[in-house]
Amino acid sequence: MSWLVYIFFSLFFIGTIGNQIGALGDIFIQNFSKEYVLFPIGLFIFLQIIFGYGLAKIQNWARRGVLLEANIVLIDLLASVLYDSKFGVSKDVNEFLTRIIGCVICGLILIIHLNRSEIANNFLENKRKRRELNKNKEAVNYILANAHIGLGNVFRLKGDTMPAVTHYETAKKLGFALPEPAIRLMARYYAENRIKTEEAIEFYLDYIRLDSIYDKMVISFLKQLCHLDETTDLNKRKKIKDLNKRVLKANPRIKWAHFYLALAYLFDGYPDIAAKGLKKSLSLEPDNLLAYYWLV
């Protein structure tokens, strides 16, 4: 049955277009000079492309019928506008173009109106599918991360550092927090090998977030990364300044981070901010003679 309806609409549509072409052709040839013929023909073809696209997108036959009728009305209106612009009261070309553009806009609005429910449904369906995929991905990542953490724990307890590090790194990349023993192992491993990558810095920051910090080697290496003085060049100073901010955000009790951050502000030309930082440093470390020196 649907094929019969499709054939009926196709024949009806083709016949309608034929009549429209004939009617418009008569108006173009009889009433317009040659320079005005190409624009209306181009506009007519453009309108048919738009309506053809609408028919292809709309699957509901009732809506297709409405769209076909709208096409007929719009093209008839176009012919009327063309005729009126030649024989009507106004012969102003600007008014003619304005009315034509208005017809096109009306057609576009009609297509949007007919398709809006389908577009909205497709958008919501795609959004729902993306949300489900993200949930599934998170679930898979959670399972994988726990598996890698478990394997890392096994190797750590056996004393096999390298396999444990590999599994912990993978779990960290999946976006899941590591247990405290894993953080301690990773921070010590990176510090022993003097690794300065962003990944290593994240582990150093995780380490200083712990309640108890007792590995002096890790803290000493992180302090070296945060060190600056008046000889530090501008580009390097900016990176070190940002690193000290991250250290203080992770653990505000780190004394030397307050001092180095204050120096960075001082060398950047912010003495007031630097003074506050130096005073904070002295409150945590009263025997810091360099803080007194720069504060004076």
| pLDDT for 264 beyond 90 | yes
Q: What is the pLDDT of residue 89?
A: 45
Listed in sequence order, the residues at least 6 apart from 280 whose beta carbon sits closer than 8 Å to its beta carbon are 258, 262
pLDDT, tens digit, for every residue of 95-128? 555 555 555 555 555 555 555 555 555 655 666 7
- The angle subtended at Cα 83 by Cα 78 and Cα 85, nearest 5°, is 95
Listed in sequence order, the residues at least 6 apart from 122 whose beta carbon sits closer than 8 Å to its beta carbon are none
Query: With bands split at pLDDT 50, 70 and 90, how would you rate the model's confidence at 262?
Result: very high
Residue pair 185/164 in contact by the 8 Å Cβ criterion:
yes
Residue range 227-296, CATH number: 1.25.40
Residue spans of the domains in the chain: they are 2-128, 179-225, 227-296
Listed in sequence order, the residues at least 6 apart from 179 whose beta carbon sits closer than 8 Å to its beta carbon are 149, 153
Lowest average pLDDT, out of 41-50, 139-148, 172-181, 243-252, goes to 41-50
